Amino acid sequence: MRLRNIPGAEEIVSASPFVIHAPAQYRGRWGECFGNDHPLRIEVGMGKGRFLTELAAGNPGINYIGIERYTSVLLRAVEKANKLEEAGNGKEESGNFRFLCEDAARLEEIFAPGEVDRIYLNFSDPWPKERHAKRRLTSDRFLAVYRRILRPEGQVEFKTDNMPLFDFSLESAREAGWRILGYTRDLHHDPMGEGNVMTEYEEKFSALGNPICKMVIAPGPADESKLE
């Protein structure tokens, strides 16, 4: 995603009630942040927030956290959330999502073991060079982190239009002992696509004719590998 320095972005993001600063304070007790004990689902590499805010509106009994490392991108999600609130889409909807301006490398400082019910990865950066493979959000080191913060029955859902990244991700999950609950290389023409909520990137790339891939995986036997 191309980044621009947007004047005022820091101030708007800092002042937003949707953005949680110092999120490690809620580690192990995110229910206190939301005022309920609903399941917690997170999107890592959220971008502009369309997927997360739509899911939140449709599922008031679930809490959602979107994680995006760049303020300039998070700003767009904050603007979206503000519009939803202004449009009177209801306090209930806007009450069940929050945003964090954080890097995925900090996930274990923010979430306690077993605290997360589901992790969404949508159109994650491909990092095509082999020497950058560890930075991919579906690499073994991130899968090991997801295994620790997910509850035992939890799941990771991953979507992309990037076939090499998808092949890498399936292989990475298998090698790390995850169970592949389902996958497709053409989500928009597959039963797995029922009820699909599109992301900004998904809309853009599917409009270009790119098939969308999706896999759903669940932690299998323990994996002792650690995030370096």
Q: Would you call 125 a catalytic residue per the annotation?
A: yes
Q: Using CB under 6 A, which residues numbered 7 to 36 contact ligand SAM?
A: none
Asked if 47 is part of the footprint of ligand SAM (rule: CB under 6 A), the reply reads: yes
User: How far, in Å, CA of 134 to CA of 67, rounded?
Assistant: 19
Contact of 184 with 160, CB cutoff 8 Å: no
Which of 26, 30, 99, 123 lies at the binding interface for ligand SAM (CB under 6 A)?
123
Nearer to ligand SAM, 69 or 151 (CB): 69
Asked if 160 is part of the footprint of ligand SAM (rule: CB under 6 A), the reply reads: no
Nearer to ligand SAM, 27 or 205 (CB): 205
Of the candidate spans 12-20, 80-88, 169-177, 197-205, the one that interacts with ligand SAM by CB under 6 A turns out to be: 197-205
Of the candidate spans 20-28, 41-49, 54-62, 218-226, the one that interacts with ligand SAM by CB under 6 A turns out to be: 41-49
User: How far, in Å, CA of 219 to CA of 60, rounded?
Assistant: 26
Asked if 167 is part of the footprint of ligand SAM (rule: CB under 6 A), the reply reads: no
Structure tokens belonging to residue 181: 């609950």
Asked if 79 is part of the footprint of ligand SAM (rule: CB under 6 A), the reply reads: no
Asked if 103 is part of the footprint of ligand SAM (rule: CB under 6 A), the reply reads: yes
Asked if 146 is part of the footprint of ligand SAM (rule: CB under 6 A), the reply reads: no
Q: How far is the CB of 161 from ligand SAM (least distance, A)?
A: 10
Longest CA span, the chain: 48
Q: What is the layout of strands, in order, in the sheet containing 213-218? A: 97-101, 63-68, 40-44, 116-122, 150-160, 213-218, 179-184
How many C-beta atoms lie closer than 10 Å to residue 163's C-beta?
Answer: 12
Asked if 128 is part of the footprint of ligand SAM (rule: CB under 6 A), the reply reads: no
> What residue number has its CB nearest to ligand SAM?
47
User: How far, in Å, CA of 119 to CA of 106, rounded?
Assistant: 15
Q: How far is the CB of 80 from ligand SAM (least distance, A)?
A: 12
Write down the H helix ranges in the chain.
9-15, 30-34, 50-58, 71-86, 91-94, 107-110, 140-149, 163-175, 200-207
Which of 55, 56, 67, 212 lies at the binding interface for ligand SAM (CB under 6 A)?
67
146 Cα distance to chain centroid: 11
Q: List all residues 6 or more positions away from 119 whose beta carbon is below 8 Å from its beta carbon.
A: 41, 42, 43, 44, 146, 149, 150, 154, 155, 156, 157
Q: How far is the CB of 195 from ligand SAM (least distance, A)?
A: 17
Binding site for ligand SAM (CB under 6 A): 1, 45-47, 67-70, 73, 103-104, 122-125, 199-202
Show which residues are catalytic.
Answer: 125
